Amino acid sequence: MRNVTYIEVEKLKPFENHPYYVKDDDEMMNLTQSIKENGILSPLIVRPIENNEYEVISGHRRLHAGIKAGMDKVPALIYEMDRDAAVIALVDSNLHRDNVLPSERAFAFKMKMEALSHQGKRTDLTLEQVAPKLSTEIIGESENISKDTVKRYIRLTNLLPKLLEYVDEGRIAFTPAVELSYLNDIEQQDLIQTIESEDCTPSLSQAVRMKKLSQAGELDDDKILEIMSEEKANQKERIKIPTERVRKYFPKDFTNSQIEDTIIRLCENYYKKQQKRNTPER
């Protein structure tokens, strides 16, 4: 059985280019409080690197919460492994947690695919051909999804950060996002500007049409606006509030989705208070 080692937090480095967000949200606040009361119950997994330091493979959130809780040292299990083995361990240890965002899953799959390819699983195909077949099959089997779904997630890594943010927030659905990943950077930037100016996001059929026009070299900002201005069959009337009018009332790291959820909760509380006020006492 491997011994637990307590390592100074300044010697622990985040895994280079790891795809997972470490946010100071409600979950982090709860984790920090739990660590203050009970300590870190599940040791981090790390590997030794140069300068007598360690790279975190599993436990970035626990490390962050531990530091916030005032810990100088944290428990860890030390494993000797190369970069590719560490990438695979990193991805496998994180993908089964709750609330993994589409962007996190996309870059995690890409990292694992590349690591498996480096290990000699399959090197005759390039990333431009989407992904090596055997690597995507291995990832799919470990995640209980099809290799085609793995490939579609990896396609999302071609999206600009703002479009990926829309996917994470649920403003753009997964399948349309895959189609949009075939647009070049200029076309994607034009789409982002149209989404923001028109306050709408593309449906699957709209995304497919933009992809086809892009592949034909016929997609420009006017075409994007024309497509996005079409009224969808299920489109409902919406109340539009400019972001700058409400952004100042929320923490800087709040996403648009979090702001919307908070506003809805405040409206619900206001409605309940009004109902209670208007109900005559017996």
Cα-to-chain-centroid distance, residue 7 = 29
Q: Is 217 contained in some domain?
A: yes
Q: From 225, 231, 105, 76, select the one nearest 174 (Cα to Cα).
A: 105
SS3 109: helix
Structure tokens at 245: 């009018």
End-to-end Cα distance, the chain: 68
Residue that terminates a domain, selected from 17, 49, 80: 80
Structure tokens at 17: 């280019």
Structure letter (DSSP) for residue 45: E
Within a 13 Å sphere around the CA of 118, how many CA atoms are in the beta-carbon half? 13
Domain count, the chain: 3
Same domain? 9 vs 73: yes
Residue that terminates a domain, selected from 51, 80, 109: 80
Handedness of CA 96, 100, 102, 103 (dihedral sign): negative
Q: Is 67 contained in some domain?
A: yes
Q: Is 145 contained in some domain?
A: no
Note the pLDDT tens digit of each residue in 62-71. 999 999 999 9
Same domain? 12 vs 72: yes
Q: Evaluate whether 175 touches 204 at the Cβ level (below 8 Å).
A: yes
Q: Environment class of residue 107 by beta-carbon count within 10 Å: exposed (0-12), middle (13-18) or buried (19+)?
A: buried
Specify the pLDDT at position 232: 61
The structure's pTM equals 0.73
Specify the pLDDT at position 280: 64
236 or 206, which is more confident? Answer: 206
Q: Is 224 contained in some domain?
A: yes
The parent domain of residue 253 ranges over 243-277
Same domain? 14 vs 68: yes
Return d(Cα 32, Cα 38) in angstroms, integer: 10
Note the pLDDT tens digit of each residue in 146-187. 999 999 999 999 999 999 999 999 999 999 999 999 999 999
Structure tokens at 20: 């997972």
Handedness of CA 278, 279, 281, 282 (dihedral sign): positive
Same domain? 250 vs 214: no
Q: Evaluate whether 191 touches 225 at the Cβ level (below 8 Å).
A: no
Q: Is 5 contained in some domain?
A: yes
Return d(Cα 110, Cα 153) in angstroms, integer: 8
Largest pairwise CA distance in the chain: 79
Q: Is 108 contained in some domain?
A: no
Same domain? 163 vs 218: yes
Cβ neighbour number for residue 92 with a 10 Å cutoff: 16
Note the pLDDT tens digit of each residue in 6-48. 999 999 999 998 989 898 889 899 999 999 999 999 999 999 9
Q: Is 1 contained in some domain?
A: yes
Q: Is 95 contained in some domain?
A: no
Return d(Cα 189, Cα 165) in angstroms, integer: 13
